[in-house]
Amino acid sequence: MALFGDSAGAPLGGPRVEVCTVAKRNLTAGEVLDDYGFFMHYGEAVSAEERREGRYLPQGLAQGCRLLRDVARDGVITFDDVVVPEGRLSDRLYAEQTAHFTADATLQRS
């Protein structure tokens, strides 16, 4: 692009794939999720549409969330399964991104 002033493609207009949070082991209500790459969860790629419809918790937002209910090993963790810490910049930016690219910007419970 920089050399020839011509792009190889055009953007598709928003996220197509996202990484959801999946339990590495049986998780218990009340536990606080650690950061990715540690011991409690791993990421799995899903379509952005599936992530929105299932209200899956993006792995990048998982750290510090407290579980409201048990989640079985290899179960997808959703926004409905957790309490998201208040005041995080990452959550505000994710909500802004989602609002920009979708009509349904409901990410987390009030």
Domain range list for the chain: 17-101
Q: What is the mean pLDDT of each run of 10 residues along the chain (110 residues)?
A: 72 85 98 94 95 95 98 98 96 91 53
For position 106, what pLDDT does the model report?
Answer: 47
For position 3, what pLDDT does the model report?
Answer: 75
For position 58, what pLDDT does the model report?
Answer: 96
For position 101, what pLDDT does the model report?
Answer: 84
Q: Is the pTM of this model over 0.95?
A: no
- The matching CATH number, chosen from 3.90.1210.10, 3.40.50.2300, 3.30.70.120, 3.40.50.1110, for 17-101 is 3.90.1210.10
Selection from 78, 83, 107, 95 nearest residue 20 by Cα: 78
What does residue 40 show for φ and ψ, rounded to 5 degrees?
Answer: -105, -30
